[in-house]
Amino acid sequence: MSDFEPKIVAFFCNWCTYGAADLAGVSRLDYPPNFRVVRLPCTGRLNPKFIMEAFKRGADGVWVSGCHPGDCHYIAGNYYARRKFILLHQLLESVGVDPNRLRFSWISSAEANKFQAMAKDVVENVKACGPNQSFRKEELNLGLAEVA
C-alpha cells in the first residue's frame, strides 16, 4: 500500500488558500503533488455536487479550503459555506464515507506553512484510507479483454 499515490481533488478559494499555495510555491516549501486544484471565487460557490462528482469519477479524496471565518472577501460567503459543510460532512460520514477522505480547512493567503503542513496531512490521511473503491462509479466496461 505504501506505493499508493492517491488522487485528490482540491477546491480552493481564490482569495486565500489558492494564494497560500502560491506563496508556498515561491517560498520553496515542498508539499506532495497528489492533488489537482480547482479554483473557486469563494467556498460559498462550492456546490456539494462538485464533491460528489469528484468521488464519482474516482477521486480518492477531496479537500476544500477557504478563508478563516470573518475574513471572507465577500463578507459572509464562508459562513454560509460552513453550514453546508456541516451537513455534507455529516451526511457523507453517515453513509459510510471515511471522514479522512474529505478535508475542510481554513487557510489564509499568508499561511504558506499551514498550507504545506495541511497538504502533507491530507495526503497522508487519504493514503491511509487506500484507493477509493466503494464510493465511485464502476469502471466503464470497454470490452477491452475481448479485443486483446
Q: Give dist(CA 81, CA 95) in Å, integer.
A: 21
Q: Cell match 486544484: residue?
A: 37
Nearest CA-CA partner of 63 in 131, 147, 120: 120
**Which is closer to other proteins, CB of 53 or CB of 124?**
53
Owner of C-alpha cell 455529516: 90
Shorter beta-carbon distance to other proteins: residue 26 or 37? 37
Q: How far apart are CA 102 and CA 98, in angstroms?
A: 8
| Least distance to other proteins, CB of residue 56, Å | 5
Provide the minimum distance between the beta carbon of 133 and other proteins in the complex, in angstroms, as a whole number: 11
Nearest distance in Å: CB 23, other proteins: 19
Rank residues 37 and 52 by Cβ distance to other proteins and give the closer one: 52
Nearer to other proteins, 18 or 55 (CB): 55
Residue ranges binding other proteins (CB under 8 A):
48-49, 52-53, 55-57, 69-70, 76, 79-80, 82-99, 103-106, 118, 134-144, 146-147
Instruction: Choose among 65, 57, 47: nearest CA to 11.
Output: 65
The grid cell for 83 is 453550514
